[in-house]
């Protein structure tokens, strides 16, 4: 598949229209597997029994996560060798241990801005309901719910209701999301209805649970921000992204107001939001996906119109497999260096003072100057191993089929041997001991075990599935529809802004003082890191590999 | 448009494949107007102000009804002549009066089975929320919620949870939906959680409000049935349809159980339900729409697969215009004759004893032997005039554009004059007095004023819009998708049953004793009524035209 893409990319040089190349490349991923509707979902009967047949609910109830393949028979694990640890759910731990970071492995291509963006971006649609893991609490749309919330009620709570703006606060002369707590240390009155701040009869809330479980000191409340989602303050990178898009929203509202003085708050708000969502979509495809692409040329672009004529243009529905494959914990470094200071993960999480002290531009530039870790087995920091455990358990609880079955489902040849999966003979042997046969390798393990090929960030199945799910759920956004993508919806100013935005750096240039002079990049600079895939490091002094 | 269809139909005789003709004919309606997503909906801001611009909510929140055209400017009615009654909302009554039945007008083609089915069918998706008329409480899908309910909780309440069956009752040896009330006159314990039976803190419920507002005697409780929707007992025709599909569900469950003895209740239920929904879809297209079609040949058929390749294959979203245009009150006769007895509307409504006394087959056959009324102005029975008033008011409250603008939107030429709208010079003059100019004629009025052409049941715009919305929202049902429409989903027995079902009479033949000998038809028999459009009557003695 990648060879075809490389050939496509090469044709760019010979004068073929970039739009055509983009369309062909997008379709090659979008058509890798049959389009939605998918016959199955995580819907199960009242007793919680996984249903491996089609029901009206599995076709229509999007509260449940989708699934790309029918549930494996209950006998699936029973067919494994008697003594394979995989057979026993109690031994998920042995498989989890495959993820443990032994020594830090650096990603040859990505900066820390990449995990900042990836985590923030996917938090809006990979939203497993912790009270019922069959469900997804998102709208299945790329809707910038990180700053607008999941419901209209939350959106209104976050709006200033003047001039189309979102509420915000000013710290050191710069704009941030509004602070959630008042000077008295209590959640501000008007934010108490937010889903995560709302207290139940016993006075409990998601917010209180976060403070209690993380043992966060009260001092963290000062710069704890009102956000659309409950994880909106989970780390400095996440808050930085929300801040960037919030600034852009308020900037857009001001520009629209200046050009349309008769518009009321509602119209200014709705129009700024629509433009902002499209800016995100452009950045997702033209910056983020082009970075992920192993090709090296920026071949993917947002071209409204053509997807509507394709058979994969269907209502979004996030699948469990898409949720699981996105657990890129290997990207996470042990430290984050900002302006010469190293912060450990404990400092970096739920601690926006780092952001307000250093400022948005510095944090984003620092992220752009540090290498991310590599997405692979044996590279997950200790504090995230429990997350791996739960991911593996989820794959088993919901009876996902094996890695090779997913390869076939996405148009790839099944692998014959563990040596084809990984060039690391020690790891290959360890997997052989665990699974006995390549066909027994779990979806989740295979995804992360598979070696990247020629400059890719991860293995072939992961690349194919990420691209498939991204294209078929980003380019189906209603704002990109032929009936909607026009001046009527966005205004001429909005259309121009959309046209002029392709990368995160464009947003930074508009919303950070002297932002156009900053180095803002998902990709490590080739002059420092060598060519793609060469594996050179950006020396920013972070204390890797302890 | 109809000429094209007639030419298509004629080609059937010359050997062109019926599938091809069906596809071409379906596409001609489905492509009459741009596909969804539509930029606008009835979403409005907190103040209830109609928004004539695109918002994220208008693109995604399907709680609100859709709309085919942007809201008219507020100045729309102001541009009418100063003295036109249309200008004043208080004078909606004058326009309402256009609907008043002066003398009963008989439909030349339809039997009473047609309104039985139409009302029952559309009640599942044309569901204006009476507490907020901007909203639609349906799932926007053809989902047989009349017998399964709108939510999974309701579905479970209506299931027997044994053998995949729905709860039912036996009256005179025949199967009906289960009775809702116990012998003590109270709602049975397990039905008290149904949305319409649930009591609020003051002990009120939708059900009690129905009994109170209609002044129904307690005796009606004996055969008041548990149904999926609150209007499930609203008239004998409606209950007859629900009974027919409930019997089919339970019959299917039994057949599936006999063939799949290892299946549990859940799988039997879900599979029977999926088959039953597809049976409904087949009847909708192959019986109901073919009856509506002015062509006269049964050219439309369910052909799973091809719609997925068409640009109109998009997520369903019921529009306000579709809801309004379906108010076919002219179909309603003053009396219904069953087995020699005439029942007035008061007897016929909320009175299932008529059904249990005569039996399902007799009621359906009697409906098939009586002519329906004609869908037009000046043919609405008095008791439904208030419904017309509300429909007109709704069109104005939500600032629908004029009839001629909708003609253009659906690919038809605008009319130049009132004479083009109707061949009745008195009515044309009355409309001229009311509107002054043909371009001022309201959507709702124009739809019903327009003369039917060559055997059609209604005017050209109504025919086009009904067909457009029906095809683009029935053939998009996920059960008809290529990935789903197969033996895996329905079983071989289910596939065979689907193949063998095309008309309501097929369902009656399977679920009513000696059902295959009954005359069950949406169309008046041509031997009695002459050719289509000839206007002959079926003499069944109903006391029309009082």
pLDDT digits (tens, 9 = 90+) for B520-532: 999 998 734 333 3
Mean of pLDDT values over A80-103:
73
Chain A touched by B199 (CB under 8 Å): no
Q: What is the pLDDT of residues A268-284, one digit of tens each?
A: 999 999 999 999 999 99
Looking at residue B319, its pLDDT comes to 97
Chain B touched by A311 (CB under 8 Å): yes
Contact (CB<8Å) A56/B139: no
Q: Return d(Cα A189, Cα A207) in angstroms, integer.
A: 15
Chain A touched by B267 (CB under 8 Å): yes
Long-range contacts of B24-29 (CB under 8 A, 24+ apart): B25/B295, B25/B299, B25/B300, B26/B300, B26/B307, B26/B471, B26/B475, B27/B310, B28/B1, B28/B4, B29/B464, B29/B467, B29/B468, B29/B471
Mean of pLDDT values over A385-412:
93
Contact (CB<8Å) A483/B35: yes
Q: Which of B37, B56, B308 sits opposite A274 (nearest CB)?
A: B56
Measured between beta carbons, the chain B residues lying within 8 angstroms of A315 are: 315
Q: What is the pLDDT of residues B289-339, one digit of tens each?
A: 999 998 878 999 999 989 999 999 999 999 999 999 999 999 999 999 998
CA distance A224 to chain B (A): 27
Q: Which of B34, B148, B483 sits opposite A37 (nearest CB)?
A: B483
Contact (CB<8Å) A56/B156: no
Looking at residue B76, its pLDDT comes to 67
Looking at residue A14, its pLDDT comes to 82
CA distance A451 to chain B (A): 32
Among A485, A85, A168, A63, CA closest to A302:
A485
3-state secondary structure of A21: helix
Tell which A residues from 371 to 390 touch B, by Cβ distance under 8 Å. Answer: none
Measured between beta carbons, the chain B residues lying within 8 angstroms of A266 are: 45-46, 49, 51
Q: Which of A59, A139, A311 sits opposite B479 (nearest CB)?
A: A59
Which residues lie below 8 Å from residue A158, measured CB to CB, with a gap of 6+?
A147, A148, A149, A166, A167, A178, A226, A227, A228
Chain A touched by B35 (CB under 8 Å): yes
Q: Which of A56, A266, A309 sits opposite B143 (nearest CB)?
A: A56
Looking at residue B94, its pLDDT comes to 82
Looking at residue A329, its pLDDT comes to 96
- Taking CA–CA distances from A315, the nearest residue in chain B reads B315
For the domain made up of A2-138+277-529, the CATH class stated in words is mainly alpha
CA distance B146 to chain A (A): 15
Q: Which of A37, A59, A152 sits opposite B57 (nearest CB)?
A: A152
Confidence band (pLDDT; 50, 70, 90) for A15?
Answer: confident
Segments of chain B with pLDDT less than 50 = 527-546
Looking at residue A545, its pLDDT comes to 32
Measured between beta carbons, the chain B residues lying within 8 angstroms of A152 are: 57, 61
Q: What is the pLDDT of residues A321-370, one digit of tens each?
A: 999 999 999 999 999 999 889 999 889 999 999 999 999 999 999 999 99
Contact (CB<8Å) A141/B271: no
Of chain A, the percentage scoring pLDDT greater than 90 comes to 82
Chain B touched by A141 (CB under 8 Å): yes
Structure tokens at B27: 């596409």
DSSP characters over B215-268: T--GGGGGGPBP-SSTTTTSBHHHHHHHHHHHHHHHHHHHHHHHH-TT--HHHH
Chain A touched by B67 (CB under 8 Å): no
Chain A touched by B26 (CB under 8 Å): no
- Taking CA–CA distances from B485, the nearest residue in chain A reads A39
Q: What is the pLDDT of residues B336-387, one digit of tens each?
A: 999 889 999 889 999 999 999 999 999 999 999 999 999 999 999 999 999 9
Q: What is the mean pLDDT of chain A?
A: 91
Structure tokens at A261: 């003085």
Chain A touched by B260 (CB under 8 Å): no
Looking at residue B58, its pLDDT comes to 96
| ipTM for the assembly | 0.92
**Which of A43, A56, A64, A263 should one mutate to test binding to chain B, selecting the residue with the greatest count of B CBs within 10 A?**
A56
Confidence band (pLDDT; 50, 70, 90) for A86?
Answer: low
- Taking CA–CA distances from A33, the nearest residue in chain B reads B483
**Phi, psi for residue A287 in degrees, rounded to 5:** -110, -60
Q: Return d(Cα B103, Cα B109) in angstroms, integer.
A: 18
Contact (CB<8Å) A37/B143: no
Dihedral of CA atoms A246, A252, A258, A263 in degrees, nearest 10, equals: -90
- pLDDT over 80 (residue A316): yes
Mean of pLDDT values over A102-115:
96
3-state secondary structure of B179: strand
3-state secondary structure of A89: helix
Among A441, A155, A468, A20, CA closest to B56:
A155
**Phi, psi for residue B342 in degrees, rounded to 5:** -95, 130
Chain A touched by B262 (CB under 8 Å): no
CA distance B311 to chain A (A): 6
Contact (CB<8Å) A55/B273: yes
Chain B touched by A186 (CB under 8 Å): no
Contact (CB<8Å) A488/B54: yes
- pLDDT over 50 (residue A535): no
Of chain B, the percentage scoring pLDDT greater than 70 comes to 93
CA distance A69 to chain B (A): 12
- Taking CA–CA distances from B44, the nearest residue in chain A reads A266
Structure tokens at A328: 């890129």
* Residue in the structure block whose two tokens are 């294959």: B313
Q: How far is CA B483 from CA A27, A33, A57, B9, B322, in A?
A: 19, 11, 16, 30, 29
Chain A touched by B39 (CB under 8 Å): yes
Q: How far is CA A451 from CA A414, A445, B505, in A?
A: 14, 12, 61
Measured between beta carbons, the chain B residues lying within 8 angstroms of A273 are: 55-56
Contact (CB<8Å) A38/B488: no
Q: What is the pLDDT of residues A43-67, one digit of tens each?
A: 988 777 888 999 999 999 999 999 9
E strand or H helix that includes residue A335: strand A335-338
Chain B touched by A309 (CB under 8 Å): yes
Measured between beta carbons, the chain B residues lying within 8 angstroms of A57 are: 152, 270
- Taking CA–CA distances from A62, the nearest residue in chain B reads B139
Judging by beta carbons within 10 Å of its beta carbon (0-12, 13-18, 19+), is residue A35 exposed, middle or buried?
middle
Chain A touched by B514 (CB under 8 Å): no
Contact of A301 with A285, CB cutoff 8 Å: yes
**Which of A50, A150, A483, A488 should one mutate to test binding to chain B, selecting the residue with the greatest count of B CBs within 10 A?**
A483
- pLDDT over 50 (residue A232): yes
- Which residues in chain B are classed under CATH 1.10.640.10? 2-178+225-529
CA distance B126 to chain A (A): 18
- Taking CA–CA distances from B482, the nearest residue in chain A reads A37
Q: What is the mean pLDDT of chain B?
A: 91
Looking at residue B14, its pLDDT comes to 82
Q: Which of B46, B311, B479 sits opposite A309 (nearest CB)?
A: B311
Contact (CB<8Å) A489/B34: no
**Phi, psi for residue B53 in degrees, rounded to 5:** -130, 170
Structure tokens at A233: 């303050």
Indicate the fold that domain B2-178+225-529 takes in CATH: Myeloperoxidase, subunit C (1.10.640)
Among B183, B249, B267, B253, CA closest to B218:
B183
Q: Which of B37, B45, B489 sits opposite A266 (nearest CB)?
A: B45
A/B interface, count of CB pairs below 8 Å? 105
CA distance A87 to chain B (A): 26
If phi > 0 it is left, if psi is from -120 to 50 it is alpha, else beta; for residue A388 that is: alpha
Contact (CB<8Å) A55/B156: no
Looking at residue B122, its pLDDT comes to 97
């Amino acid at each position: 598949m990648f060879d075809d893409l490389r050939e496509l990319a090469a044709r760019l040089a010979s004068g073929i229209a970039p739009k055509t190349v983009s369309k062909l490349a997008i379709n090659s991923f979008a058509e890798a597997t049959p389009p939605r509707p998918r016959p199955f979902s995580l819907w199960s009967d009242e007793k919680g029994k996984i249903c491996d047949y089609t029901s009206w609910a599995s076709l229509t109830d999007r509260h449940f996560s989708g699934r790309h393949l029918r549930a494996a028979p209950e006998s699936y694990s029973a067919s494994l060798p008697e003594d394979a640890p995989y057979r026993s759910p109690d031994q998920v731990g042995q498989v989890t241990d495959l993820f443990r970071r032994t020594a830090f492995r650096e990603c040859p291509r990505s900066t820390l801005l990449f995990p900042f963006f990836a985590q923030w971006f996917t938090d809006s649609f990979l939203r497993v309901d912790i009270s019922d893991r069959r469900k997804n609490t998102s709208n299945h749309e790329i809707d910038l719910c990180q700053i607008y919330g999941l419901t209209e009620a939350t959106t209104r709570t976050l709006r200033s209701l003047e001039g189309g703006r979102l509420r915000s606060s000013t710290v050191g002369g710069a704009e941030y999301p509004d602070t959630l707590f008042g000077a008295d240390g209590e959640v501000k009155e008007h934010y108490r209805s937010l889903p995560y701040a709302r207290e139940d009869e016993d006075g409990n809330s998601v917010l209180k649970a976060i403070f209690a479980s993380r043992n966060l000191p009260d001092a963290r409340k000062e710069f704890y921000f009102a956000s659309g989602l409950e994880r909106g303050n989970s780390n400095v990178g996440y808050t930085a992204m929300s801040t960037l898009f919030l600034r852009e929203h308020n900037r857009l509202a001001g520009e629209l107001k200046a050009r349309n003085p008769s518009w009321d708050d509602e119209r200014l708000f709705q129009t700024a939001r629509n433009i902002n969502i499209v800016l995100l979509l452009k950045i997702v495809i033209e910056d983020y996906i082009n970075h992920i692409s192993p090709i090296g040329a920026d071949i993917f672009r947002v071209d409204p119109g053509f997807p509507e004529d394709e058979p994969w243009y269907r209502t979004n529905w996030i699948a469990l497999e898409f949720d699981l494959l996105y657990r890129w914990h290997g990207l996470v470094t042990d430290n984050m260096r900002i302006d010469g200071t190293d912060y450990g993960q404990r400092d970096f999480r739920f601690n926006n003072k780092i952001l307000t002290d250093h400022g948005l531009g510095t944090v984003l530039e620092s992220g752009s100057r540090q290498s991310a870790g590599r997405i692979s087995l044996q590279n997950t920091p200790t504090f995230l191993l429990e997350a791996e455990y739960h991911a593996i358990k989820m794959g088993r609880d919901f009876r996902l089929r094996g890695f090779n079955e997913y390869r076939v489902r996405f148009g790839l040849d099944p692998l014959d041997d563990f040596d084809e999966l990984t060039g690391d003979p020690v790891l290959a042997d360890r997997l052989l001991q665990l699974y006995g046969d390549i066909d027994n390798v779990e979806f989740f393990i295979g995804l992360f075990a598979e070696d990247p090929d020629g400059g890719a960030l991860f293995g072939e199945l992961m690349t194919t599935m990420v691209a498939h799910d991204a294209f078929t759920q980003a380019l189906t956004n209603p704002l990109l529809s032929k009936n909607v993508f026009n001046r009527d919806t966005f205004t001429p100013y909005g259309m121009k802004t959309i046209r002029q935005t392709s990368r995160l750096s464009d947003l930074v240039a508009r919303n950070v003082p002297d932002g156009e002079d900053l180095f803002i990049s998902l990709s490590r600079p080739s002059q420092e890191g060598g060519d793609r895939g060469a594996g050179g490091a950006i020396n920013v002094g972070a204390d890797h590999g302890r």
